[in-house]
Chain A
Amino acid sequence: MKKKNEKAPKKIAITVSNLHVTYRGLKKTSIRASWKHFGDKIEKFEALKGISFEVEEGKILGIIGKNGSGKSTMLRAIAGIFSPDKGKINLHGNTISLLSIGVGFNKKLTGKENIYLSGMLLGFSEEEIKSKEKAIIEFADIGDFINKPVKTYSSGMYSKLAFAITAILETDIMLIDEVLSVGDQTFKSKSYNKMKELISDDKRTVIIVSHNLDTIKNLCDEILWINDGEQVMKGSADEVLPKYEEFMKTL
């Protein structure tokens, strides 16, 4: 990854330092249960135990790790859905969107209405969305369903629309959680190509979480491997992937 812009000064898009996320405290409870357990020690689960890394502007970071290692938690923390319990996340003023299976749709509303609402939550104005509405609908390619409530969608259509919204409304940083395999074969290759096009933009910073090592290998400049909330290693695909594959075999 150093090859690309050796001379240009590095511009950092994301800085994560000593990130800790703990699940605790606000536990679901009922009055009866809280009475019984009053004074009990609160259970804690540390999902992330001090992760630090930086991503340069325009780079693509892949995150790998077995199920439950804290990958999705980390993306959600970076997207601002969780606040870190310890440590800091600095986005250096960039806009960010998290693309995971199904963005925040209101299922009672039509797909079209959801394009506007999701877009506005991502920080775009109504006018900006309006100018891109057609492109989104075209890319999502779900026909007349765009005017129907989202609850009537198949899971494939749901993901297609979600992907289209984030892909066409381009934010500076895109976080992608396991969605490159949405839809049928045609949409898959279409979204893969769109992904590549977005990624080739020098300004766009991307973090991808995936279990598909081929995707990771083909798209990412750098790879971060985490296990049980801890950083195992970070480096190029050639360095990390063989060790990761070996590790996964031992499980």
Chain B
Amino acid sequence: MRKFFHNIRKYNKYAIRSAKAELKSEVADSYLNWLWWIIEPFCFMLIYTFIFGVVFKNNELYFASFVMVGQAAWQFFERMLTGSVNLILNNRDLVTKVYVPKYILLYSKSLTYLFKMFISLGLAFGLMLFQHVPLSWHIIFAIPVLMILYLVSFGIGLLLMHFGVTLNDLANLTNIALKMLFYLSGVFFNIRKRLKGTVGYFILRLNPAAFLMDELRKALIYADMPNFKWLLLWTVAGALLTALGIRVIHKNENSYAKVI
């Protein structure tokens, strides 16, 4: 664990620089350039709001803000998981030519995803003002919720990154699992209202995406107190996953270059 923090400090500048360069390269050749970072999440929000708000008549209060907050959290979670499965393979050139602690690759990637999430959250904030969502001091709870979201995604990501090296089917499996989690996390519907009873109760606690998304909305939109007990449980789970991931990677990372 000490080695992990030492490496994060040592490679922090590299990770940040690499993340910045990656973001720049993503939009470098496009006509609208960095505007895409805003346009894309905004359009997704419009689509969901139209289909589920107008077509399926969802009368959730502040629905557009509701969707935007949910989407910001979901996309971060999804990007972290899909991004990590093939991370080592996609960096074959790097991994086979120079030593870099492999979680630095995920850490650097996560910075680009964080950047995008904060843009989405900024948009959500704009929408909240536009829809006159009453703001309250509960907003500060968004900070621990986002930190836990990061921790849990990072932990799962580390494990996916490791198994993704040797297990060819993992990308397909992850896609299916994520599709299921997506519909069960309530990006565009309120689980509390639509899935009553035991099913809803468990999904809202055991699906980290659903749980953390709900907590984020409680903090930002509903001015509600968080569920401290489950936040604590997910912090512990996230920390355990991350510690396990780091262990597995320390043990195996030097063999990755032999396989790919």
**Which residues of A come within 8 Å of B, CB atoms?**
23, 25-32, 34, 76, 79-83, 97-98, 100, 102-110, 113, 116-118, 120-122, 125-126, 149
In the complex, the answer to whether A26 meets B98 with C-beta atoms within 8 Å is no
Report the bound CA distance from A245 to B173 in whole Å: 53
User: Which listed segment binds A: B17-25, B74-82, B204-212, B225-233?
Assistant: B17-25
Q: Which chain B positions have C-beta within 8 A of A27?
A: 166, 259
Inside 8 A of B256's CB, which chain A residues have their CB? 26
How far is B93's CA from A199's CA once the two chains are assembled, in angstroms? 27
Q: Using CB atoms, name the residue of chain A closest to B26.
A: A108
Is B254 among interface residues, defined by CB-CB distance under 8 A? Answer: yes
B contact residues around A122 at 8 Å (CB): 98
- What would 16 A/B residue contacts be, using CB atoms closer than 8 Å? A29-B167, A30-B168, A30-B169, A32-B169, A81-B96, A81-B97, A104-B94, A106-B18, A106-B91, A109-B21, A110-B25, A113-B25, A120-B11, A120-B17, A126-B13, A149-B25
Closest CB-CB distance, B64 to chain A, in whole Å?
A: 34
What B residues does A79 contact at CB under 8 A? 98-99
Specify the chain B residue showing the minimal Cβ separation from A34: B167
Chain B residues lying within 8 Å of A109, measured Cβ to Cβ, are 21-22, 25
Contacts of A118 in B (CB 8 A): 98
Closest 10 CB pairs of A and B: A104-B94, A83-B254, A104-B97, A80-B99, A120-B14, A108-B25, A113-B21, A30-B168, A104-B98, A26-B255
In the complex the two chains form, what is the Cα distance from A107 to B18 in whole Å? 12
Secondary structure dominating the interface of A? loop
What residue in chain A is nearest B170 (Cβ atoms)? A31
Q: Which residue of A98, A104, A106 contacts B21 across the interface (Cβ within 8 Å)? A: A106
Of A30, A82, A108, which one neighbours B254 at CB under 8 angstroms? Answer: A82
B239 proximal to A (CB < 8 A) = no
Question: Please, how many angstroms separate the alpha-carbon atoms of A55 and B8 in the complex?
Answer: 32
In chain B, what residue has the closest Cβ to A107? Answer: B93
Q: Which of chain B's residues have a CB closer than 8 A to the CB of A76?
A: 96, 257
The residue that A30 contacts in the complex, of B18, B21, B167, with Cβ under 8 A, is: B167
Please tell me if the beta carbons of B94 and A31 are within 8 angstroms of each other in the complex.
no
Q: Name the residue on B nearest A73 (C-beta).
A: B258
Interface residues of B, dominant DSSP: helix
Residue in A25, A28, A102, A121 whose CB lies within 8 Å of B14: A121
Residues of B in contact, count (CB < 8 Å):
32
**Chain A residues near B14 (CB-CB < 8 A):** 117, 120-121
When the two chains form their complex, are residues A26 and B17 in contact, meaning their CB atoms are under 8 A apart?
no
Please name 20 further chain A to chain B contacts, defined as beta carbons within 8 Å, in addition to the given A26-B166, A31-B167, A106-B18, sorted by A numbering: A23-B258, A26-B256, A26-B259, A28-B166, A34-B167, A79-B98, A82-B257, A102-B93, A104-B96, A106-B21, A106-B91, A108-B22, A109-B25, A118-B98, A120-B13, A121-B94, A121-B98, A121-B100, A125-B13, A126-B17
**Given A117-B21, A120-B17: A26 and B93 within 8 A (CB)?**
no
Contact (Cβ within 8 A) A31 B169? yes
CA–CA, A28 and B164, complex, Å:
10
| Min C-beta distance of A118 to chain B, whole Å | 7
Q: How far is the CA of A113 from the CA of B259 in the complex (A)?
A: 28
Any A CB within 8 A of the CB of B252: yes
Contacting pair B166 A29 (CB below 8 A): yes
Q: Does B203 contact A (CB under 8 A)?
A: no
Task: Please give, as numbers and ranges, the residues of chain A lying within 8 Å of B145 by CB-CB distance.
Answer: none
Residue of B with least CB distance to A96: B99
- Do B17 and A100 have beta carbons less than 8 Å apart? no
Q: Give CA–CA (A116, B17) in the complex, Å.
A: 8
Q: In the complex the two chains form, is B97's CB within 8 Å of A82's CB? A: no
A83 to B255, CA, bound (A): 7
Contacts of B96 in A (CB 8 A): 76, 81, 104
Q: A26-B259, A126-B13 are in contact. Are A103 and B167 (CB under 8 A)?
A: no
A82 and B255 in contact, given A104-B93, A117-B21, A120-B17 (Cβ under 8 angstroms): yes
Chain A residues with CB under 8 Å of B28's CB are: 149
Q: Give A144 to B220 CA distance when docked, in angstroms.
A: 49
